[in-house]
Amino acid sequence: MATLGIHKDFLLEFAKLEKPVQKRVHEVFDKFRKHRHAGLHLEKLEKSRDPRIRTIRINQFMRGVVLAPEVGDSFLLLKVMPHDDAIAWAVKHRATVNSATHGIELRDDVALERATAGIDALPGDRPGAADDTRRLFGGVADKDLIRLGIDADLLPLVRHLGTEVHLDALHKVLPEQQYDVLAGLAAGMTPEDVWREVVAIQLEQRSAAPRETRAPRTESSAAPVEQDEFSAAMARSQGRIALVSGPDELTDILSRPFDAWRIFLHPSQRKLAYRSSYTGPARVTGGPGTGKTVVALHRALHLAQQLPADAPDESILLTTFTRDLAADLRSNLELLIPEPALRAKIRVVNVDALANQVVREERGAPLALLAAQKEILNRWSRTAQRLEIDFTDVFLDQEWRHVILAQDLRSPETYLKASRSGRGAALSPLKRAQVWRAVEAFTQELRRADEWTFLQVCAEAARILQDRGGDRPFRHVVIDEAQDLHPAQWRMLRALVAPGPDDLFIAGDTHQRIYGNRVSLRGLGISVAGRSTRLRINYRTTKEILTWSTRLLADASVDDMDGGQDSLAGYRSAYRGARPELGGAATKPEEITGLVTRISEWIGTGVAPHEIGVAVRYVQLGKDIAQALEEAGIPSLVLGASAAAVEGVRVGTMHRMKGLEFRCVAVAGVSDTVVPMQSALTPEEVDPQQHREDLMGELSLLFVACTRARDALRVSWHGIPSPFLPEQVTA
Ligand SMILES: Nc1ncnc2c1ncn2[C@@H]1O[C@H](COP(=O)(O)OP(=O)(O)OP(=O)(O)O)[C@@H](O)[C@H]1O
């Protein structure tokens, strides 16, 4: 049967072409798809390593590269490049089948031969030499490397690699799957880990391949692909190759080339999102940009597809922390699920808005919300003064949120006995009684004015839903950015769906917790034991930006919301790029001038203003930067203040940057008095533990801001740099 495959690289290159060229590429391949008999239009290249790698003319300047077996009508679109580059690429590469996964891979034969010959020329530096154990893969046996799919002819080269930098240098020439295996081993994973996470996961996808094509290849590595197994191997290459079912799908894929996430799920992502069912709550974790949101979106799609035919609309909830993030989820869901009827099965709304709706419907009247934290603290202050008790506004507010609301304590007796773990200063029974009096006075004042804080609304919504018992509004709940949710929000989410298979699907990363809400899922009756998986490949950020940003958290200890510790072990990027740029200035105006210059340079290299994000710690600095940009003739908009559709550099607070991404990111004002923001820190003398957690929150905020960058990151400050920045910056 005819098969057309599109390699991920093809789509990425296609995405960067000018619109008229894209149109032409589409025309060429559409025509090619219709009339592909006898290799129509395809040109063979002299001296090519693989005669089945051929090129096709797009226009005077561009060529496509296609892998086309001589017999049969299966084709794989590999590259679309300027003419000379396409020819050079096509003659050097060879398509082979990976001996472990049986999927197609591409190797730069010429570069690999050259690199291997270089080693042969070095006497006494062969594998097995005395210093072998000091080499990058010195501790891994040949048989393990072979079992993991490393080609036998590459072993001498692999054995010779001394550091990760050497491995990186081979990133573009090694077959991708084999690079992934080696990168996993180099990152400290055991061969068993790599087998499970890189190889087995790909093998499992074989069950999705057409039945007649499942027989695995037995002979070893680096043998060329025979045409009879060609479409089978394409089907086994999910995550890198998308099979196109017909002209409509080709048009759909090519019309949205930037949204590769819709089609090219990594096997580890696909396994999580499309597992037919989980016996209970399931969770996906992973560092920034590993595709947690993508997995959550695909999971929502899968659950919608599995619903019985008579399931009402909005049977599934897809939710997240803020209104803006919910809006992003909604527009991505429209891309992923074009059919309105299927999409209607999923309701997308942020947690607070949903809580508000639950309480409003129960009361039959809208709620007056007390949202400003400053006003809340003022009221605590007044309450403490009136009752003549010696607690600060910050302490009372935190005690109320982190202990009383968190545990849903409703009487002085329960509060007296409650655990205050996570809070620093011990409280005697007398002090607890004083706190309770303050809480009663504070909440009474709110009640009298019929005002609510967001968390109170969530706590009330949870109570309403729990009291309703069996009548649950949703069949499935999918949660993104879970690390920032408060226990009251979790209680509401828990009560929205009956406990059972596929009740909750949770995506989050505790390294990005920026609102100080710590929870134990188990304590909330949500057990993800045996159903929690960490993603490790970053699809957003370059390795250079990732390494730099991850180093910010080097000394931090981060919980996993489930009684253990989370880590970024094995976290790595799929892309390479320039190192982050760091710059200090003497004064704020000087820093802003430098920033404006760099932004105009980015724009000069073809980056659109809306592809640039500027993250700051406080709103006024953002406004100052936006004004300086406008004065320099660069359009800008302050996030949250202007319509999102307006063209311009996006300027926003670090909090507002959460969940977003940009080609170029500037994090500005990273000075010692601003990052960490002193007013966001509980004074150490009030509560040392809370002080440490607030510091961690500020550090995570900087981490979140830096990891929004896809291609370029610039971090700047004026005066003394933030203590969070690595020491070499300050030197
Ligand atoms: N398999 C994939 N193929 C191509 N692109 C992908 C893939 N998975 C994720 N991406 C892209 O990587 C970027 C990050 O994905 P996503 O936002 O889902 O990550 P995340 O883990 O939720 O990030 P964060 O925690 O930082 O918000 C997005 O641009 C997404 O489209």
Q: Print the SS3 string covering 325-366.
A: HHHHHHHHHHHHCCCHHHHCCEEECCHHHHHHHHHHHHHCCC
Question: Would you state the structure tokens that stand for residue 515, as one six-digit string?
Answer: 């609102």
Task: Classify residue 47 by its DSSP letter.
Answer: T
Cis peptide before 676 (omega within 30 of 0): yes
Domain topology for 3-244? YaeB-like fold (3.30.2310)
Binding residues for ATP: 286-293
What are the phi and psi torsion angles at 23 (to 5°)? -60, -45
pLDDT recorded at residue 217 = 37
With tokens 């096997």, the residue in question is 267
Structure tokens at 536: 């490790």
Per the CB < 8 A criterion, the answer to whether 310 and 340 are in contact is: no
Mean of the pLDDT values across residues 441-465? 94
Q: Which residue has the higher pLDDT, 34 or 153?
A: 153
For atom 8 of ligand 1, the residue with the nearest CA is 291
The pLDDT of residue 549:
93
**Whole-prediction pTM:** 0.86
**CA gap 596, 43 in Å, rounded:** 48
Average pLDDT, stretch 511-524? 84
Are the folds of 267-360+461-538 and 580-730 the same?
yes
Backbone angles phi, psi at 299, to 5 degrees: -60, -40
Beta bridge partners of 243: 5
* 562-598 tens-digit pLDDT: 777 777 777 888 788 899 999 999 999 999 999 999 9
Q: What is the value of ipTM here, to two decimals?
A: 0.99
In our burial notation (b when 16+ CB lie closer than 10 A, e otherwise), range 251-261 reads eebbeebebbb
Q: Is the CATH number 1.10.40.50 carried by domain 267-360+461-538? A: no
Q: Mean of the pLDDT values across residues 663-681?
A: 94
In the chain, where are the structural domains located? 3-244, 267-360+461-538, 376-452, 580-730
Per the CB < 8 A criterion, the answer to whether 304 and 333 are in contact is no
Q: Is the pLDDT of residue 149 over 60?
A: yes
Tell me the pLDDT band of 460, cut-offs 50, 70 and 90.
very high
Atom of ligand 1 nearest to the CA of 239: 1
Report residue 652: phi and psi, to 5°: -155, 165
Using the mean position of ligand 1's atoms as its centre, give its distance from the Cα of residue 106 in Å.
24
Identify the pLDDT of residue 219: 38
Judging by beta carbons within 10 Å of its beta carbon (0-12, 13-18, 19+), is residue 446 exposed, middle or buried? middle
SS3 assignment, position 15: helix
d(CA 275, CA 380): 48
User: 3-class SS at 293?
Assistant: helix
* Stretch among 456-460, 514-518, 722-726 having the lowest mean pLDDT: 514-518
- Percent of the chain residues past pLDDT 90, beyond the cut: 58
Nearest ligand 1 atom to the CA of 707 is 26
Q: Whose CA is nearest to atom 13 of ligand 1?
A: 540
- For residue 463, the model assigns a pLDDT of 94
Q: State which ligand 1 atom lies nearest to the alpha carbon of 259.
A: 31
What is the rounded CA–CA span in Å between residue 268 and residue 508?
Answer: 16
C-alpha 7/C-alpha 154 separation (Å) is 24
> From ligand 1's centre to the CA of 235, what distance in Å?
23
| Dihedral angle, C-alpha 424, 430, 436, 442, nearest 10 ° | -90
What is the per-residue pLDDT across 166-187, written as a single tens digit (0 to 9) for each? 888 888 899 988 998 998 898 8
* pLDDT-wise least confident of 258-272, 281-295, 329-343: 258-272
Kindly write down the DSSP assignment for every residue of 374-387, as one continuous string: HHHHHHHHHHHHHH
Average pLDDT over residues 47-64: 91
Which residue, among 592, 665, 646, has the nearest Cα to 622 in the 3D structure?
592
Distances (CA, A) of 126 to 122, 130, 234, 447: 8, 9, 36, 78
How far is it, in rounded angstroms, from Cα 702 to Cα 485?
19
Amino acid at 476: H
Residue 290 Cα, ligand 1 centroid: separation in angstroms?
Answer: 5
Model confidence pLDDT, tens digit, residues 618-642: 999 999 999 999 999 999 999 876 5
Contact call for residues 530 and 501 (beta carbons, < 8 A): no
Task: Read off φ and ψ for residue 421, nearest 5 degrees.
Answer: -60, 140
Pocket of ligand 1 (CB under 6 A): 260-261, 264-266, 269, 286, 288-294, 509, 512, 539-540, 659, 661, 707
For ligand 1, the distance from its centroid to the CA atom of residue 707, given in whole angstroms, is 12
Give the distance (Å) from ligand 1 centre to CA of residue 509. Answer: 13
Return the DSSP state at 640: T
**Domain at 580-730, CATH homologous superfamily:** P-loop containing nucleotide triphosphate hydrolases (3.40.50.300)
> Please, which pLDDT band fits residue 35 given cuts at 50, 70 and 90?
low
Report pLDDT digits (tens) over 196-231: 888 988 887 655 443 333 333 333 445 555 545 777
Please provide the distance, in angstroms rounded to a whole number, between the alpha carbons at the two ends of the chain: 64
Residue 155 has pLDDT above 70, yes or no: yes
202 in helix, strand or coil?
A: helix
